Structure formats: structure tokens, C-alpha cells
A and B are shown apart, each in its own frame.
Chain A
């Protein structure tokens, strides 16, 4: 059974810092991996999708990497801003291609 773990559970940084969020998964047979952002009381916003054949994806200040063989992904946020404060969720598409399996998320707080 696929399990997704995110470390750390919470992170507080001052504005301007670069930071890395970690995600690990137990079954390397995945179709893709997605990173989402969730603001309190809101739904999920897709940030980046990495296909199983890709190693990384970039969007603005965000860069996500994928190492399928080791079951790891990282989300790198450059020059963090207070508006980046949210919970970041990592999810992998299951082997059947029918469901995303989520981690519990990392709650990020960026202070000004």
C-alpha cells in the first residue's frame, strides 16, 4: 500500500529565505507526483505536476524534483514571502492511475 510522508510537519522562516519541503513515498511505481497548496479553510491549488519520466519542474520561484528510484521529491521555494504561508501537500498518482495518495502536508509560515 502506497504511503506518502512529508517532513517537516511545520516550518517557520523569515521572509527572503530559500527553503526545501520534503516528500517520500513507499512505492516507486507511480504515474506522476503533484504538489498542492492549501490555504486555511480552502480547497487545493495545484502548483506543479511532475510526470514519472521527468526529474523536475519549475514554475516561478518554485522548483520540484522527483527521484522515483529512491521514492523522494522535494519542493524548493526561493526567496520566500509572507504570501507563501500555507500548507503544502505532496501527492502521488497510484499504480492504477485512479487516485492521488496524499501526505499530511507541511504547514509553512513566513514572517515579514
Chain B
């Protein structure tokens, strides 16, 4: 596609429920990143994929958070037993190559609200 696509754009869920957030990166981009942004803050790194593997998951806050990218393209961020503190905008980004000097392109984000 032309850009990074994230679905849904908004998600409201009840505390304790399970949610999945989807990211379609730019075609051909091997690197994919998930970030979380709270109001008034900059994006906070969650996890980085190079191809199908999670090369860096050091930003995941706890074991309720998990992400997959089974075919090296689409990625799904999964949150179990959601808590009100999980409410934030979840951003996905992709880049052509890993890290170093390649530009990252961001999607519009999924606004998650846990009530």
C-alpha cells in the first residue's frame, strides 16, 4: 500500500478483555516497530521486528503484551487482560531496512480506550 495502515482506528474495550491491533506496513519494508503514545508524551518504544522475528522486545511493559509478524509483513499487537492504564494511542512504523540510516514511516495509530 501507499502508507502504513493500522486497524481499527479506535477501539473501546472493557477492563479485563483481550484486544488485537493490526498493522499493515509499507510493501517491501522489512523493519516494523510498535510504539505507544500517551497524552502529552512522545511515543514510547514497545517492540521491533526484522522480518518475522522480534529482534528487540525490550519495550513491552509486561507479559500481557505480545506481538507477532508471522509472514514478515502484517503484524498484530495483542494485549491480554486489559487495564485502564493501557489506554493510549498505539502507533506502528515501518522502514525499508533495519535501523541505522533508514527513515521510519508511521501509521495513523489505533486509539485504545479501556473502560
Return B98 CB to nearest CB of chain A, in Å.
Answer: 6
Is A51's beta carbon under 8 Å from chain B? yes
Interface residue? B79 (CB, 8 A): no
Complex interface bits, B3-42 against A, C-beta within 8 A gives 1, otherwise 0: 0100000000000000000000000000001010000111
> Is A102's CB under 8 angstroms from B43's CB?
yes
Interface residues of B in 20-74 (CB under 8 A from A): 33, 35, 40-45, 48, 55-56, 58-59
A60 within 8 A of B: no
Are A97 and B33 in contact, with the CB atoms below 8 A?
A: no
Residue in A96, A98, A99, A102 whose CB lies within 8 Å of B42: A102
- Do A102 and B56 touch across chains, with their CB atoms under 8 A apart? no
Query: Assuming A31-B100, A93-B99, is B109 touching A99 (CB within 8 A)?
Result: no
Query: Is A34 close to B, CB under 8 A?
Result: yes
Mask for A27-49, Cβ within 8 A of B = 1, else 0? 00001101010000011111001
Count of A interface residues, CB-CB < 8 Å: 26
* Further pairs besides A44-B93, A98-B48, A104-B41: 5, Cβ < 8 Å: A42-B109, A46-B104, A91-B42, A99-B45, A99-B56
Listed in ascending order, the chain B residues whose CB lies under 8 Å from chain A are 4, 33, 35, 40-45, 48, 55-56, 58-59, 91, 93, 98-101, 103-109
